[in-house]
Structure 1
């Protein structure tokens, strides 16, 4: 997952157990996909997305708000950029993910999330002038074909013949959501705001929360009750606060390259939990789509890494 820029102080020799840090973050994010699916019918997509960020904002305020106030003159010029990041990461990505869960499976959401690194490479090529290699482009084509297989549920004749009636709208929404999150990550790298991690996250959450308000006022708030309060509590704490901090700590200890490898486990962990906990079916087109998407992403990342080292 893309996160606000943080200084890296990687130590060369680390005990094996530190690799549990990125694994823990990936597991938290994978479980959150299941929570997203369980929210369907229990609370509206906009409401859980809004409540999630309200809770995270409230929990962070005692620790971060005094620092924000002291640094207000430093922060002020960066508010427009923080607003854009909050829009892309907190409203568009999360809001669309919750909405997508109404019409697609947690398995598909997890697999499509694997496209974030690939879309990141594509957007970085435009905004950061990081030209991908032929190897990376080939990987991208393979991954995009995998998305097509997944959305068409294995029947490519649907697309060739122009038949889209069998598509899940949620799959298309997730593609848009993933693109927004990739753009969020690239802009984070491009701007590299001179703010500490908690301040950065806190202000983005604040903007994301504000951007939700017009939509939830229009659609109405879903009440929090005994059936959905645990969904809100989970979403507003572990994936919103704990996982990002654990992820950044992992980057500091074992480096960004080693840490980023673990993100490729997200679709596999999500699918495994969905199959066993939600009783979702894992079908042949899931296997083919996942292999093509993950394989293409790995190729693209390797190609990009080689290009960077030249």
Structure 2
């Protein structure tokens, strides 16, 4: 039963990659990016205004940090995908998003003064090779000349932003409850995204766009984070994090079935290598756990 919570979260986030793609041509990227957090904050307000008021002194002391985290995690990471959807696929959204743990791993030495293991470096090289194969589609000459397309470039920026977000969350212990922190970041996201809404081609939510906005605001922004946090509480952060490796698999499968996206051999090979690299980069942690286990069992014997 404990595993159900992270599974639900990853499934919702996988489906949200499809929502990103489906939103293209239905609602402007600037509009859905704004309304996603506007409605999420509106729904959360009755439950969190009280806790926010109680923690107002701590919040005031960390407003700058909360604003910066909001820019990284809720504006750049979660909004750039709407713009990327014009020139990339839902499959690529899922695959490139899966590189976030690797981004966090490489940012940790600079921000948290952590030393990278040999497995981390090896895993990174495998992931980057896989990413290159996937994005180039086997045409290396054309890839070198033209580079990656705009959508994939935006997704890489988004992944880097969320990688930095994860590292900064660990560095800044603000003493706020998780939901208060999310709520305040959501408020800042509304402020960050308001200028984009004002220059959007349309600020209206059509009937065809309403389900997309509702899913992004309720399922992806409220239910999924709640399930993920619940999973961390029951399983621990490391065991829960492993479920993120299922995101590109679920996304690619759903995009193939429901959006008609064609998966080539380059997706299978490149995506598989990218995931393998992420797993290998975390191998040092598992090795340490195994070592402790064997030491413990040997001592008991």
- TM-score (ref. length: structure 1): 0.90
How many angstroms apart in 2 are the aligned matches of 1:307 and 1:204?
35
1:267 and 2:248 correspond = yes
C-alpha contact (below 8 Å) 2:28/2:201 kept by paired residues = no
Contact 2:55 2:176 in 1 (8 A): no
Offset, 1:94: 1.3
Q: Does 1:286 align with 2:270?
A: no
Per the alignment, residue 153 of structure 1 pairs with 137
Would the aligned equivalents of 2:98 and 2:275 in 1 still touch at CA under 8 Å? yes
1:173 aligns with 2:154: yes
Q: 1:94 and 1:265 mapped to 2: Cα distance? A: 19
* Equivalence for 2:168: 187
Residue number in structure 1 paired with 2:91: 107
Displacement after TM superposition at 1:104 (Å): 0.3
Question: Is residue 114–residue 264 contact of structure 1 (8 Å, CA) maintained in 2?
Answer: yes
Deviations 1:174-226 (A, max 9, x none): 01100001111110111022111110100000001110011221334431011
1:13-162 alignment to 2 at 5 Å? 17-159=1-143, 162=144
1:306 shift after superposition: 4.6
Q: Does the Cα contact within 8 Å between 1:133 and 1:307 map onto a contact in 2?
A: no
Are residues 63 and 235 of structure 1, via their aligned partners in 2, closer, same or farther at CA, if it must alter by over 3 Å?
Answer: same
Kept in 2, the 8 Å contact 1:132–1:303? The answer is no
- CA separation of 1:304 and 1:122: change in aligned 2, threshold 3 A: farther
1:291/1:44 CA distance change after superposition, 3 Å: same
Give the superposition deviation at 1:154.
Answer: 2.2
**The residue matched to 2:24 in structure 1 has which SS?**
coil
Contact 2:109 2:116 in 1 (8 A): yes
**Unpaired runs of at least 5, structure 2:** 293-301
Q: Tell me, in whole angstroms, the C-alpha distance in 1 between the residues paired with 2:227 and 2:108.
A: 25
* RMSD between superposed Cα atoms in Å: 1.6
Seen in structure 2, the aligned counterparts of structure 1 residues 307 and 163 have a Cα distance that, compared at 3 Å, is: farther
Q: Tell me which of 145, 154, 178 is aligned to 1:163.
A: 145
The residue aligned with 1:234 is 215
2:296 aligns with none
Q: Partner of 2:181 in structure 1?
A: 200
CA offset at residue 305 of structure 1?
A: 5.3
Tell which deviates more after alignment, 300-309 or 270-279: 300-309
2:234 maps to: 253
Counterpart in 2 of 1:215?
Answer: 196
2: CA distance, partners of 1:288 / 1:204: 37
Partner of 2:298: none
Q: Partners of 2:285 and 2:67 in 1: how far apart? A: 29
The whole-number CA distance in structure 1 between the counterparts of 2:48 and 2:125 is 43
SS where residue 145 of structure 2 aligns?
A: coil
1:156 CA drift (Å): 2.3
Q: Tell me whether 178-187 or 70-79 shows the greater mean CA deviation.
A: 70-79
| Distance (Å, rounded) in 2 between the aligned partners of 1:24 and 1:276 | 20
Q: CA deviation at 1:69?
A: 2.0
Q: Return closer, same or farther for 1:192/1:305 CA change in 2, 3 Å cut-off.
A: farther
